[in-house]
Amino acid sequence: MPTTAFVLGGGGVLGATQVGMLQALLAADVTPDLVIGTSIGAVNGAFVAADPTAEGVARLEELWRDVVRSGEMGESPVRQAARFAKYRTHVMRRGVIPDLVERHLGVERIEDLAVPFQCVAAEIEGSASRWFTSGPVAPAVAASCAVPGLFAPVEIDGAHYYDGGLVHSIPVGRAIALGATVVHVLQVGRVEQPLSVPRNPLDVGLVAFEIARRHRFVEEIAEVPDDVRLHVLPSGVDRTPTASLIGQGSVAKVEDRMARAFDATSAYLQGTTS
């Protein structure tokens, strides 16, 4: 019997795209046997692994609206500047992600989620990937989301972690290694766009960072075995920014990304079954 994996990549506020994709998948009666997440995909992935139903994703959709509407992820620049002046490594308060997960997920440990779930973070001391497969959900997801410069490194069991996108931006290979035979890739739109040669100093940094973030996904896609059915779900958006933070979003933009992804993914899934 096929093993279906949902693989959710990183992307900050663009992660709202994944909510629309999840809605389309569940509406088409496609449910996961395994959920793999990186960065914001770890947040969305944990929630769908906790409740892989249309009702569960509807609650995730409302959570996105509430977080963006309340400005919970977007403190005042003055407060962020003060925090950076004090710590010199980050601008967001340490507990924002784990507090969010603990308040709304309703499950404390990874092994207690309804669907097997894993998320990845980059270990600083060992310069290695760390896959969280058991233990408390909230710190694992926070580690996977710890964007350098935005969040402080997350300490777990004496090691320190940064954002999982540094090592696996969209971890398709992990899902296949765990036995997935059908893989649905929930990406945020960046990989749909070819990169362009930089024209200014800012572009140089953004393009270099995007190559570093994207190359492993490109290589893993090229090496997918013939007996694995791979579906890279469409975002429905023509243009996606390279850099995006949760605090930069608005409710209207978040809802637009969800709706576009739902429509595009629904059409794609209908085409694969017709």
Burial 193-208 (b: 16+ CB within 10 A, else e): eeeeeeeeeeeeebbe
Q: What is the pTM of this model?
A: 0.91
Number of H helices, E strands in the chain: 9, 8
pLDDT at res. 13: 86
Task: Note whether 169 and 213 are within 8 A (CB).
Answer: yes
pLDDT tens by residue, 205-216? 888 888 988 899
pLDDT in tens, the chain (274 residues): 669 999 999 988 899 999 999 999 999 999 999 999 999 999 999 999 999 999 999 999 999 988 887 765 656 565 666 665 666 666 677 778 889 999 999 999 999 999 999 999 999 999 999 999 999 999 999 999 998 888 889 999 999 999 999 999 999 999 999 999 999 999 998 888 888 899 998 889 888 888 988 899 999 999 999 999 999 999 998 876 655 554 456 788 899 999 999 999 999 999 886 5
Mean pLDDT of the chain: 89
pLDDT tens by residue, 239-252? 766 555 544 567 88
